[in-house]
A and B are shown apart, each in its own frame.
Chain A
Amino acid sequence: MAAKKPLLIIALLLALAGGFYLYINIIFPPVRCEAAKHPEAPEQYADCLECHLKVTPATAQNWRESKHGVLLVKCVVCHGLPDGKGSVPFAAKPGVQDICVRCHEPAMKQMVEKYGAELECDSCHPHHQNPMHRRAFEAKKPSKTSF
């Protein structure tokens, strides 16, 4: 009997882990809106933001308040199209040397010159996070000319 005890504990732990996995999956379904996948029919074409404000509100809001958002550098410019039909390959995490470089090459060169190494930009400049984007372009101080 004593030999079976560890097995029982392992089985119990497995059951608990499985139960927890099921619980998470049921309570927090992976897709939280009507669109289970990217709508691709021509009549469903729309600006990414329209859907993503509902589906991934935090990411959508972060983008909107970032510099890319203010300047309307839209999702597809870096992430490509979900069905891969555009010229930019679809990637949840766009490659620095493939995508970022297209606009930021001069800045990237400067960084390499300064620090002497090829860095991953997003380790210091997370693409969507507000803190790095410093609530972009917002006025902070009153002007000398205001009254």
Chain B
Amino acid sequence: MAVSRREFLKGSAAAVALSALGAPVLAATGSAGPDKWVKGVCRYCGTGCGVLIGVKGDKAVAIKGDPNNHNEGKLCQKGALLIPAVVYAKDRITDPMIRKGGKKSPLEKVSWEEALDFAAKHFRETIQKDGPQAVAYYGSGQALTEESYLANKIWKAGLRSNNVDGNPRLCMASAVAGYLTSFGKDEPMGTYNDIDNATCFFIIGSNTSEAHPILFDRIARRKESSPDVKIIVADPRRTNTARIADMHVPFKPGTDLALLNGMANVIFREELDNTRFIDRYTAFKKGTGEAASLEEYKAFVAEYTPEKVQEISGIPAADVVKIAKLFAESTAAVSLWCMGINQRSKGVWANNLIHNLHLITGQIGRPGATPLSLTGQPNACGGVRDTGCLAHLLPAGRMVENEQHRNQMEDFWGVPRGTIQPKMGLHTVALFENMVQGNVKALFIHCTNPAHTLPHLNKYTPALEKAFVAQTECFMDAETLKYADVVFPAAFWCETDGVYGCTERRYALTEQAIPPLGNSRPVIQVLMDFAKRVGVDPKLMPYKNAADIWEEWRKLSKGSPYDFFGITRNRLKKESGIKWPCPTEDHPGTNLRYVRGEDPLVPKDHPDRIFFYGSPNGKATIWLRPHQPPFEPADAEYPFVLTTGRVIDQWHTATMTGKVPELHRAYPSAFVEINPDDAQKLGVKNGDQVVLETRRDKMTFPARITDTCMPGLVFCPFFDKAKLVNRLFHDAVDAASKEPEYKICSTKVYKQA
């Protein structure tokens, strides 16, 4: 008792002293009493939380959650610490810079005119000499919608090059192809509201807790409010997400396709399928694309008996049955997945197989029943997928290789028919491969850091050494700046205005809160000034500001399956995000897409309750996709599987979170997680330097001995620029989505001599 009292008293005294110390610090940072709060969206992940930016004078001094947005005032620690550490980071780039004497010369500050002329000259000359296919744009799921729409238009209609791709290819492409092939159009049919109504969560290939903390909070609250709700987490790592799970199902990495087919088998065997739904709303297809029947599908999945799934994946047969029953017997099941499914050489198939489960059980189109793919970046959905800012796409779900779609866009943009090249451009990996080969000679990079994030970095960084690189960037420590010939200082996040579209089809506006720092400029201005100098007709870009671009994009969406004509700039200023389809200004937005009475694009008198209007036959497709192993499974020579991912405190390449001492100190550098059993066999102790050697390269990491990883699996986070773990990875991509397999490669693991 004496001790606790003593400690208590000492603690209280310290608390009083420290709170007294704390008060002036708070006042010094100015976070007490901003003059006004400006509405926006968080800069980080695809959850798309609403924020309020506290502004005093012309400085951003505070940030808090927007109580009117889906996050109801909450922010995760990354979002809550965004201001002032990131906005006013010491290494913010505030002046344009160029390398006057080639790649080895230093970056020198120059005027905007000089930087723009310098970049434009190279692009102009490259196009004159080698044609428009020799120049490319590499964009980002963090760019504003207006920026991506504009860049897409400049390249495809202005420069006549379809080489427009970006980092969403590295994260969401498989989800896009999954939705496209299963439902005919991209983007989820459900929303976050489904989390509040679900009675079963099937979380596979997602560490929601660390990658989407506010959604995890919502799932946890759902579980708390109704403990009957079941949560299944299928993941080879026992992440923090598994802490709220009723079942954590670890499996051999890369064997989830067998599990998903096995679940389908159990669902039929136990007669938990929804025959009426299947008959009315679905069609079956074989991998080759030819039609199949329900009986053929049943026979196909019948091969995946629980015992066979156990053999392939290591999941006990009884658990396969249990998961399938929990999923199918629940009144409303939500599937959530992220990079564990997408960043795979069979990522699209894995996506299809998740959709299959929802289609055979009818767990779709009702509150709480939906396959909801989580997005990694704040504007991959709205900005890149919807505006068609990828090599094979045109805006609003149109395809480059469809002549009718090209003509529609040419007419809308007011360019002669035949302007848009009929062949799709180069997807990311092919783009960098072509740069290595010298076929693509000039690259415009916006808002992303490929020298850090591409797979098989040793193979692809020479591309950046070889090609002329113009880059927009905010922070001096981005790895790619090492290769940039021109750097345009971009206005950061709340220094300009623009729309982000998050996972749940919600478009929300970040209004300009403060002026751009130093000489930095909004990127739409940079893109237009650059394009005019390269020779793009100024009539293609008749915009005064981002709102003008939004207006054009909004009109373009009218009548399309992505109809958000009703989401005007004024509405976005007033409301904290609106979910499309939203065809008219008085429409409140849509929660249940494809559902009559909910989705305004389904005719009110449609005979069926659900209408998958994205596909030509109005039906969703159930695909017969077999299990296939990953590109590089563990073998005798390289006996471990290496996987990569996030930690909650760092985001992507840490150019933002690395500036926040509170976040950075928790995980200042990369490490390798090793299972205690493996560590014992390898003679490795906590903190020992451990070598990971793959067929590409070898690197050393300090060991963290933890049972998060199952035996045979090691994990490294990818945020650390001093330890570019992607150097260890191969560059195998999904055949359909062209998304690389960042989640699985084989490796040797041994203690450093």
Contacts and interface: CB of A to CB of B under 8 A. Distances in A.
B210 interface: yes
A108 to B, nearest CB: 9
A80 B21 contact: no
A71 B243 CA distance: 9
Given A70-B220, A74-B649, A145-B325, A24 B228 contact: no
A102 interface: yes
Nearest to A76: B662
B662 A71 contact: no
Interface of B: 2-3, 6, 10-11, 14-15, 18-19, 21-23, 25-26, 29, 31-32, 64-65, 67, 72-77, 80-81, 83-85, 199-200, 209-210, 213, 216-217, 220, 223-224, 227-230, 240, 243-244, 246, 325-326, 329-330, 648-649, 660-668
Contacts of A106: 67, 72-73
A48 B210 CA distance: 17
A48 B667 CA distance: 10
7 contacts: A72-B210, A74-B648, A76-B666, A77-B81, A93-B15, A105-B67, A136-B224
Interface string A43-61: 0011110000000000000
B73 A81 contact: no
B230 A87 contact: no
B731 to A, nearest CB: 33
Contacts of B648: 72, 74
A137 interface: yes
Contact of B213 (A71, A139, A141, A144): A71
Given A28-B6, A74-B77, A145-B230, A89 B667 contact: no
A11 interface: no
A106 B75 CA distance: 12
A24 B6 contact: yes
A144 B228 contact: yes
Nearest to A64: B243
B381 to A, nearest CB: 24
A28 B74 contact: no
Contacts of B217: 71
Contact of B73 (A89, A95, A105, A143): A105
Contacts of A140: 227
Contacts of B31: 87, 98
A126 to B, nearest CB: 13
A9 B19 CA distance: 40
A147 B73 CA distance: 39
A30 interface: yes
A141 B19 CA distance: 42
Contact of A91 (B19, B81, B229, B329): B19
A105 B224 contact: no
Nearest to A147: B325
Nearest to B63: A102
Nearest to B62: A102
Given A28-B3, A47-B649, A92-B11, 14 more contacts: A67-B220, A71-B220, A72-B210, A86-B662, A90-B22, A92-B14, A93-B19, A98-B31, A103-B74, A106-B73, A137-B220, A141-B227, A145-B329, A146-B230
Contact of A95 (B19, B21, B661, B664): B19
Contacts of B75: 102-103
A122 B18 CA distance: 18
B306 to A, nearest CB: 15
Given A28-B3, A74-B666, A103-B65, A137 B661 contact: no
Contacts of A92: 11, 14-15, 18-19
A104 interface: yes
Given A42-B668, A45-B665, A143 B6 contact: no
B22 A89 contact: yes
B325 A70 contact: no
Interface in A95-136: 95, 98, 101-107, 134, 136
Nearest to B19: A91
A73 interface: yes
Contact of A89 (B23, B224, B227, B325): B23
Nearest to A40: B665
Contacts of A81: 661-662, 665
A84 interface: yes
Contact of A88 (B15, B81, B229, B649): B81
Nearest to B216: A71
B668 A98 contact: no
A73 B77 contact: yes
A10 B416 CA distance: 104
A144 B65 CA distance: 36
A73 B19 CA distance: 21
Contacts of A88: 81, 662
A42 B664 CA distance: 10
A85 interface: yes
Nearest to A133: B224
